[in-house]
Chains A and B, each alone.
Chain A
C-alpha cells in the first residue's frame, strides 16, 4: 500500500501512520519541520513500514501542493490512500479582532484543504480507486463563540468533502471525513483534560479501520455522534444564549 500523509507530524496522523506502517505500507510524509519528520519516520521504519520518505513543505503556501503530490507519486510509484491532517486551532479571542488573523486561520484550515482535496480528488478519479481521508472536526457542525473561526473552516471542508464524495462515488473511490472530538494532542495541550478527551492512539486506529473499510463520515470516539446529534438540534434561538 502506498500512502500519502499530509500534516504527518500531527499526533493523530502519526497514529494512523503507525497502523499503516505495521501493515508494511510505504509512506510519504509531509510536514513543516524536518526534525519532527525525522523522529516520526524512524518510528514508522521500526514499526515495519516498507519505505518512508519525508518532504518538508509549508502547507499554507498553496504553490507547494502540486509539487508535493507529484513528488509523492514519484517516490511511492503511485498513491493508494491519502490523509490530510494538518491544521492550526488558533486563538479565537485574538483572531476575531483581526480580519487578517481570521482569514489566515481560515486559509490554513480550509483553503489549503480545498486545494489539496481538489488535486487529490483528480488523482483518485483518474485512478478509479483509492481512499481520500480528511480530518474535520465536531467543531465544524455548529458555530460557537469559543472557536467559530476554526469551526467554520472545518465546516467548509466537511461540505466540500461531501460534494467530492458524491462525485467520486461513481468511480469507486472512498472519501472519508473524520470528525474527532477532543483529542489529547499538542493542539489541545493548553486545555484542561476531562473524560471527553480521547487518546491519539485510539483515534488513529479508528481512522485506519475506516480508511480500509471505505467509510464516509465517522465520529471518533463514536459517542460524539450522539452529542452532535443533540447539539445540531438545539434551536438557534436557544443555542445563541448558551456558553459552549
Chain B
C-alpha cells in the first residue's frame, strides 16, 4: 500500500514534504530537532491544503491506532488519535453504540475529526464532533503533554477543536458515543421540485428525524432550480434484516484517474435526470444498513480519482437563512447559469447547537457542499464570484474542504482567527494556514 501524502481533492499538490511516521505516543520524536514546521497527518481526507505542509514535515499519526479504554456502560471511549472511524465502527456498532456524529466518509481519524470539528447529518440535534469530546492529550513542540477538557487547559481545548492541527499533536482523545438499537436506519427519500420545497421539508423533518440531508441537482434552473432528493432517517428498532449484511463490502475501486472529460455537463445532466426520476414515488421508505446511509461514496474506493489527474475542488459554505433565502438561491442560479458542473451537491440545514471550537465552521444556517473538477483559472474565478455572495450575506467557507479562499474571505469567515492564533504552537503550520494568513500578517 503506497501513500501519497496529498489531499483528497488532489489539488493543490504539495511538494517537498518530509514524512515521519509516529508509532508510539510515549516515544515521540523531539519536534524541536526537526527543521522547519510540522503538521500531523492522518488519512488525507481533507480536500484542500489544510492537511498539507509544503516544504515542511508531516507527522503520520496513522500507526497511533490503539484503544485505551472503553466504558461499555456509559459509552465513553478513549483511543489514540490515529484510530480510523471505519475500524471504530466495527468495534462499537455490534456493542450497541455509534459515533456521536460522523462526516460522509468513515475513512477519517479521530484526531482529524477533532482538528476539523467535523459535522454530519445529525448536526441539527447533535452539533459537531468536538462537542462530544470530553478530553484529549495534546503534545506541544516544547515536549509538554497537556490533558485538555472543558475544565482543564480550557482555552487549548477550545482552540484545538476545529484548530486544523495547528495547536500541537493530539495523542489520544476521549469522547461520548451514542446508544443505538441496531445497525439499521429507517430511511425516507422525498423528491422536492425546487429550493422552497426543500426548506419546507427540512423544517418539518428536523423535529422528528435524527438525520437529514439532501442531494441537489445543480444543473437544472428556472422553476426546477434547486430540485433534489431529501434523505432523512432515524435509527431503526430492528436488530436484524433477513438476508442482509449490516456492513456490505466495498463495491468498487476507481481503477485509475479518469480522463478529464468524463465528468462534464452532459454526463452530469443525464445522471441528475436519471437519479431524480429514479425515485418513482414522491416518498420512498425503507430500512437500510448504516453503511450505505452514512457513507454512500465510501462504496467506491478512491472515488476522487474519477476527477482525473488535475483533481477537483470542493466548495462548502454556510449562509444564515433565518428569513432570507435569497443568497442560497442566488448561488444556485449562478451555478446553473455558469455551465460549471458539480457532480455532487449536498444541502443541509445546520442547527444552533454550539461547538466549543473557536474556529469551528458550522453555525446556524444552510450549508451546501459542491464538487468542481479543477479546470484552472476559470474554475478559480467562478469560485471567487461565489465567495462574494457568501461574504455579502455573512456566510463562511469550510477550511477542511478549501484549497483557494483568499485571506480576506478567511477573515470574513472566521473573524476570531487572531484570538485563535495565540494558541498555535510556534512549530506547527500548514500550507492552508500560510495561505490564508500570509497576506494579513505581512500587511500589518
Contact = CB atoms under 8 A, between A and B. Distances in A.
Interface residues of A, number: 18
A35 B27 contact: yes
Given A35-B27, A39-B25, A193-B3, 9 more contacts: A35-B24, A36-B26, A36-B27, A39-B24, A39-B66, A42-B67, A46-B68, A186-B63, A197-B1
Contact of A197 (B2, B21, B69): B2
Given A47-B91, A197-B1, A198-B1, A189 B23 contact: yes
Contacts of B79: 46
Contacts of A193: 1-3
Contacts of A42: 66-69
A194 B3 CA distance: 8
Contacts of A46: 67-70, 79
Contact of A43 (B24, B27, B68): B68
Interface string B26-67: 110000000000000000000000000000000000010011
Interface string A39-50: 110110011000
B78 to A, nearest CB: 9
16 contacts: A11-B23, A35-B27, A36-B26, A39-B25, A39-B26, A39-B66, A43-B66, A43-B67, A186-B23, A186-B63, A189-B23, A193-B2, A194-B2, A195-B2, A197-B1, A197-B2
Given A42-B66, A47-B67, A195 B1 contact: yes
Interface range, B side: 10 to 19
A198 B68 CA distance: 25
Contacts of A195: 1-2
B421 to A, nearest CB: 33
Question: What is the interface of chain A mostly: helix, strand, loop, or mixed?
Answer: helix
A184 interface: yes
B139 to A, nearest CB: 15
A240 interface: no
A232 interface: no
B22 to A, nearest CB: 10
Contact of A189 (B21, B27, B68, B69): B21
Nearest to A192: B2
A43 B66 CA distance: 5
A36 B24 CA distance: 7
Contacts of A128: none
B87 to A, nearest CB: 8
A193 B62 CA distance: 15
A184 B79 CA distance: 21
Which 9 A-B pairs have CB atoms at the shortest separation, nearest pair first?
Answer: A46-B67, A43-B66, A35-B26, A186-B23, A46-B70, A43-B67, A193-B2, A42-B68, A189-B21
Contacts of A35: 24, 26-27
A199 interface: yes
A46 B67 CA distance: 6
Which residue, A11, A40, A184, A198, has most C-beta atoms of chain B within 10 A?
Answer: A184
A44 to B, nearest CB: 9
Interface in B326-383: none
Contacts of B3: 193
Contacts of B68: 39, 42-43, 46
Contacts of A194: 2
B66 A40 contact: yes
A134 to B, nearest CB: 23
A23 B68 CA distance: 18
Contacts of B67: 42-43, 46-47
Contacts of A186: 21, 23, 63
A35 B23 CA distance: 13
A40 B63 CA distance: 12
B198 to A, nearest CB: 42
A191 B104 CA distance: 33
Contacts of B63: 11, 186
Interface in A160-201: 184, 186, 189, 193-195, 197-199
A184 B2 CA distance: 9
Nearest to A190: B21
Contacts of B1: 184, 193, 195, 197-199
Nearest to A184: B1
Contacts of B2: 193-195, 197
Which residue, B1, B25, B69, has most C-beta atoms of chain A within 10 A?
Answer: B1
A40 to B, nearest CB: 7
Nearest to B21: A189
A196 B25 CA distance: 27
A202 B110 CA distance: 21
Nearest to A195: B2
Interface in A32-83: 35-36, 39-40, 42-43, 46-47
A48 B70 CA distance: 10
A39 B137 CA distance: 15
A109 to B, nearest CB: 20
A39 to B, nearest CB: 6
Contacts of B26: 35-36, 39
A113 B10 CA distance: 46
Contacts of A198: 1
A184 B21 CA distance: 10
A77 to B, nearest CB: 26
Which residue, A36, A46, A195, has most C-beta atoms of chain B within 10 A?
Answer: A46
Contacts of A39: 24-26, 66, 68
A36 B67 CA distance: 13
